[in-house]
Amino acid sequence: MASISPSIAVEPTISGVTEIRSNVARRRRWDIVFAVVGFLATSVGVVTLLTLFVDLLMDGYHRLTPDFFLSFPSRRAAEAGILSAWVGTCLVMIVTAAIGVPVAVSAGIYLEEYAPRNWVTMLIEINVSNLAAVPSIVYGLLALGLFVYALGFGQSILSGGLTLALMIMPVVVVATREAVRAVPHTIREAAYAVGATRWQVTRDHVLPYSIPGIATGVIIGLARAIGETAPLITIGALTFIAYLPNAPITTTPPFVNFDWLWSGFTVLPIQMFNWVSRPGTAFHANAAAAGIVIVVLTLAMNGFAIYLRYRLRKRITW
């Protein structure tokens, strides 16, 4: 392009050539301008992420003491902590993972490996993609009507965990399907050829290969569940909890107990919300400190998932 030779032009005049050249140069300049604008627009996201994190750190870093993690919420800002909140988050996540992950992974496997092409399958697929688009607070309303009142689970860890399990299902189903689909057909055919049944093929060959991909989806789903606030507020999770549920593991036989499932709870993001929405600035430092904990937790999980997927892409050599 740079060497537009004058001989091509019908009647080359010096002024014509310079005109073309300046025209090309002008249009090229706009290319560069857009490349810069585009780069800046793209970095708005990165800048926001950094600003947000630095803002949280500046407001809340001084509150991140061991006491903060080991104290219950309190009326005095300086003594308040997130003990009941992080314990609640852990327990709710146990329920969510224990119920949501197996169901969602099974659903993904069914849709990819088993489902016949008929209207039932289509109905299920449409529903999965619709559920992904349902606002999280609507899951809260569902849980309030169904788990809390109709089934009588109350405003408990069990209700909370089930709510988030439903919410992350679409994410995990989609990730499972993608991971399973990426396994080449030759692997399945080889297994079928030596007489394996469909479940044997799935369990012994397809699943082991797709575990990293499924894990990526599961981690992203759980990270989303950890940060989710609205549906848990909707089912009536409390904002001020100054006790811990009974420990799931006990020292006396039978060593496990499930009382904690029925206990009231709060979680980290609700605790943060509670502190943010108090009038006055005394509690804002606490909110920021809780925010740091949540952001570090979710970003670490998301980062790990992204890393896992990146490695996966590099390593694939079928």
Partner 1 sequence: MPAAQRSLIRPRIHHRDIRERLVEAFLFVCAASAVAVTTAIVVVLVYESAGFFERVSIVEFLTDTMWTPLFAEARYGILPLLCGTLLAAGVALVVAVPLGLTVALYLSEFAPVKVRESVKPFLELLEGVPTVVYGYFALLFVTPLLQSVIPDLPGFNVLSPGIVIGIMIVPYVGSVSEDAMRAVPNALREASYACGATRLQTTLRVVMPAAASGIAAAFVLGIARATGETMVVAIAAGQQPNLTLDPTEPAATITAYIVQVALGDLPHGSIGYQSIFAAGLVLLLITLLFNILAHLLRMRFREAY
Q: Which residues from 119-158 bind partner 1, rule CB under 8 A?
A: 120, 123-124, 127-128, 130-131, 133-142, 144-146, 149-150
Q: Is 27 in the site for partner 1 (CB under 8 A)?
A: yes
Q: Please tell me the distance from the alpha carbon of residue 157 to that of residue 245, in angstroms, as a whole number.
A: 9
| Cα dist from 193 to 55, 127, 160, 188, 198, whole Å | 60, 35, 46, 9, 11
Window contacting partner 1 (CB under 8 A); options: 63-71, 74-82, 90-98, 219-227:
219-227
Closest to partner 1 by CB, 91 or 223:
223
Q: Is 159 in the site for partner 1 (CB under 8 A)?
A: no
Among 181, 205, 278, 284, binds partner 1 (CB under 8 A): 284
| Residues in region 288-307 near partner 1 by CB under 8 A | 288, 291, 294-295, 298-299, 301-303, 306
Among 69, 110, 192, 240, binds partner 1 (CB under 8 A): 110
Cβ atoms < 10 Å from Cβ of 114: 11
Sort 156 into a burial class: Cβ within 10 Å, 0-12 / 13-18 / 19+. Answer: buried
Q: Is 109 in the site for partner 1 (CB under 8 A)?
A: yes
Among 56, 82, 164, 191, binds partner 1 (CB under 8 A): 56
User: Nearest Cα to 147, choosing from 224, 237, 260, 228?
Assistant: 237
- Give the three-class secondary structure for 142: helix
Window contacting partner 1 (CB under 8 A); options: 32-40, 66-74, 205-213, 248-256:
32-40
Q: Least distance in Å: CB of 247 to partner 1?
A: 27
Q: Is 62 in the site for partner 1 (CB under 8 A)?
A: no
Query: 99, 278 in Cβ contact below 8 A?
Result: no
Closest to partner 1 by CB, 110 or 248:
110
Instruction: Read off the amino acid at residue 121.
Output: T
Among 181, 188, 205, 224, binds partner 1 (CB under 8 A): 224
In DSSP notation, 222-253 reads HHHHHH--HHHHHTT--S---S-PPPSB-SST
In DSSP notation, 55-71 reads HHHHHHGGG-SHHHHH-
Among 77, 92, 226, 241, binds partner 1 (CB under 8 A): 226
Among 48, 74, 250, 257, binds partner 1 (CB under 8 A): 48
Tokens read off for 292: 């740091």
